[in-house]
Structure 1
């Protein structure tokens, strides 16, 4: 049975909040050879909608005429700079309240969560948004249980996601819930995406988030480290590669990243071990995983996971490995 998916746009919305999920659903149609999803773009009036990038979108449906589409399975609200103006539109909030009583799944991408929250549709639910705006969402709406670093959150039929590309993760999770992991995997491969970035994982890597703080030769060195974290990377060789002394290299790390070369490299390798762990169909032996990423032995890897992620590798795998993703998909499907 075909499901009707509506993405809701408005002037100055984020282009990728619309085009990202749209392409995921459209690719599912193409790869399956069937119209699994009927896609519609809704705006105040049909026609051109200017996005924040300047590239216009073409809406085929008016907000007030959604009932003409028949039963709507999923309604996703885009975010973007224009959300502030839309929050002052009581008629739009009324549309969302009306749709909430009819659609199977109601969700948002990025700051679109503020529109759902203004309409009172997230009260009592867990929700997330772009990390930059989570504090404001929690402050403005104390009845909403904000999850500040999740990629996406499902809460009794309410779907919220973090900024921009997290909408793609959310769309993939819906395809997996509707039609299984095989099709979702095909879509992910076709679009060169990760299939499994579980919603409970952090919106961004702490190491990568700090990378933009580096400049000049140190930034070049970080690019080198990220290209091959499992290489030996001795301090002397790293310093020589950018023409400085080991002492000066350590000073650059402290000044620009507030850490040491060794600590940065350990965290980078731990990130890679974490990704390898959750990508494994079965839990890999910890000693092998530790050796692969030059993190000592199994016990040292356990201590590093506990220190940086607050749980053991075993518990992390249970929460975010493939079996956890399957459980999330079942929850979404039943929601």
Structure 2
């Protein structure tokens, strides 16, 4: 039985705790016999009030846990108020634990233990600069979903903790179980750890409004449609020159390049399914053929589609073919 200790505290983020916990619990349900013993740990056994007001019940006090196989530390505003005594106890437990990780701003607590010194780490994008400033011994990569060095993990905000936990399930029991857990929870399996916290599409949505925002939403939801610049200009009832100006203001690139990037983002998500051919993916994403997919993908991501699939794709076939609209960032 693999012991998982999940550390929480007053004003922790509820989903930082419940997301990873549910991934492990669902894995237990899908396995022939439960493989994970889940222990909710806090400074003291008993109620812990999250920053949403919902109360969790810690089943073990931090000082009573002497070892675990996996230790995860939740994030939340209360992480900055943890006492030195709590950090010392966390450091002791981390030293006796083979696999240690943090969810979101839980990285601040893990950094105080010294476990992250010299490592590449991540946290929620909004807190990355603060983490780097407070802990100069860390190399903070603010745009990664999760990172690992020497069995030490850090992850970005909230749902990235689910991505991280799915990767742990995959390490322990293989891709097929991780796929089944993701399907059961209706989440995207699984975003690579070094994937950006924000997709280009979301960034474009944040910077656009009105009719342009609605058009960008349509491009992202149906990238395979006919989105030639002339069609886009007609949709907005503007001249091609003004269309280019609007897109560069909102996306930093031309309309044609934005459409290509939207199609490549959709292709990247489909590549994890080994049942889909390169030509089939290219067709579904509006990229023409396999050679066009390879050329654009390599230029944009720096690796070929086949290399990307070998690195991040499911290594065992599964039946659920993801659509481009799944896996919201």
3-state SS of the aligned residue for 1:142?
A: coil
2:180 and 2:289 map into 1 onto residues whose CA distance is 36
Q: Does 1:60 align with 2:59?
A: yes
Maintained 8 Å contact 1:49/1:56: yes
3-state SS of the aligned residue for 1:212?
A: helix
Query: Structure 2 length normalisation: TM-score?
Result: 0.86
Alignment of 1:268-279 (within 5 A): 268-277=262-271, 279=272
Maintained 8 Å contact 1:17/1:79: yes
What does residue 327 of structure 2 align with?
none
1:58 and 1:117 map into 2 onto residues whose CA distance is 25
> Runs of 5+ in structure 2 lacking a partner?
317-329
What does residue 96 of structure 1 align with?
90
Q: Does 1:281 align with 2:259?
A: no
Maintained 8 Å contact 1:239/1:249: yes
The counterpart of 1:76, out of the listed 72, 75, 81, is: 72
Q: Does 1:41 align with 2:44?
A: no
What does residue 216 of structure 1 align with?
210
Q: Does 1:262 align with 2:261?
A: no
Query: Structure 1 length normalisation: TM-score?
Result: 0.84
The counterpart of 2:312, out of the listed 313, 317, 320, is: 320
Maintained 8 Å contact 1:108/1:116: yes
What does residue 160 of structure 1 align with?
154
What does residue 20 of structure 1 align with?
19
What does residue 126 of structure 2 align with?
132
What does residue 81 of structure 2 align with?
85
Maintained 8 Å contact 2:175/2:315: no
What does residue 324 of structure 2 align with?
none
Q: Please state how far the C-alpha of 1:152 moved relative to its aligned partner.
A: 1.6
> Runs of 5+ in structure 1 lacking a partner?
325-335
1:149-205 CA-to-partner distances (Å, cap 9, x unmatched) read 322222112111111111111111112222222222221111011223222322231
Q: Does 1:173 align with 2:159?
A: no
1:4 and 1:125 map into 2 onto residues whose CA distance is 25
Structure 1 residues 62, 143: closer, same or farther in 2, change over 3 A?
Answer: same
Maintained 8 Å contact 2:94/2:100: yes
